[in-house]
Copies of this chain bind each other. A is one copy, B any other.
Amino acid sequence: MAVPLYQAKAEFFKTLGHPARIRILELLSERDHAVHELLESIAIEPSNLSQQLAVLRRTSMVVSYRRGSEVVYSVSVPEVRDLLLAARSILSGIAASQADLEPELTPVSAVAR
């Protein structure tokens, strides 16, 4: 409330602005995962993963619970999935428009004829 909306938005996007956190959210939006499962798919140190998970927890994007000896994470904001999909389509749009411009910047020898 005291925080202006545009600042909250910036913080929200900032927490999405890290490759490991993107991967985590992609995996979690398929299904819940225990930490050691995430670890198999994402090649980083356990402590690093744990820290990235903490970032996502702080912003309430994921929640965790203990199941026996493992800790399971799940997305608490399902809309994040849409955001990731939206990002993908926007990115492919940008990539396509840059491909149009590229010939002007690319040596002729590199251009297929």
Interface residues of A (CB under 8 A from B): 4-19, 21-23, 26, 59-60, 76-77, 79-80, 82-84, 86-91, 93-94, 97-98
Chain B positions within 8 Å of A89 at CB level: 79
Could you list 21 A-B pairs, sorted by A, with CB under 8 Å? A4-B19, A5-B88, A6-B22, A7-B19, A9-B16, A9-B22, A9-B88, A10-B17, A10-B21, A12-B87, A12-B90, A13-B13, A13-B14, A13-B87, A14-B17, A59-B94, A60-B97, A60-B98, A77-B93, A79-B86, A79-B89
Task: Give A11 Cβ to nearest chain B Cβ, in Å.
Answer: 7
Chain B positions within 8 Å of A93 at CB level: 77, 79
Do the beta carbons of A17 and B17 come within 8 Å of each other?
yes
- A9 to B14 alpha-carbon distance, docked (Å): 12
* 3 nearest A-B residue pairs (beta carbon): A14-B17, A13-B16, A13-B17
